[in-house]
Structure 1
């Protein structure tokens, strides 16, 4: 039986390059949390599956329901690492 040495890309690779701009100070910490959480997860085969995975993981980490009318920003202590807007997360970002 042949062995396939093709490496399956991990979802965390989507987070290798961050955005040019962040919304609030908590956003880079959420970005890193997403990367860490998805580090061992294979990249889904379809764009829709990727979007569902990212949305579900974001909602879990930030404890926000994006299907409801999201607030323009939320405060989460776990992402507070200093600064006036430390811990503030901008869901749109």
Structure 2
């Protein structure tokens, strides 16, 4: 177990279901990007860090309406690389917030 908590610890385990096929790859990329990011002191700080990571990795803000494609998360298949912002807003981020509040 680590002595210093970092945000990437919130990403384990992965969700059971996803929005689109690119979302699991974005999940892993966010965890990797946030591996050195210190544990936030508030939910507002957590939300800001997660929103910034989402935008850096997808080039789109979290409040984007409708799904979109990100080439780096395309790994084959018809909907490969598809990102669902609604999954992140409605399921992914609430899960991470819950894990943060319970830690």
TM-score (norm 2): 0.78
**Matches of 2:25 and 2:62, distance apart in 1:** 19
Q: Could you list the runs of 5+ residues in structure 1 that have no partner in the other structure? A: 1-5
1:45-60 aligned within 5 A:
45-60=41-56
Bigger helix share: 2
Q: Check whether the contact 2:67–2:83 (CA below 8 A) recurs between aligned residues.
A: yes
Deviation readout 1:46-92 (Å, 9 max, x if unpaired): 1110011001110110110234xx23101011000011100111012
1:28-47 matches, cutoff 5 A: 28-47=24-43
CA distance, structure 2, for counterparts of residue 12 and residue 66 of structure 1: 18
Write out the 4+ residue segments of structure 1 that deviate beyond 6 Å after TM superposition: none
Provide the alpha-carbon RMSD of the alignment.
1.4
Say which of 12, 17, 40 aligns to 2:8. Answer: 12
1:76 to 70, 73, 84: 70
Give 1:8 deviation, angstroms.
Answer: 2.5
How many residues are aligned here? 86
In structure 2, stretches of 5+ residues that fail to align are 88-103
Q: Distance in 1 between matches of 2:41 and 2:3?
A: 14
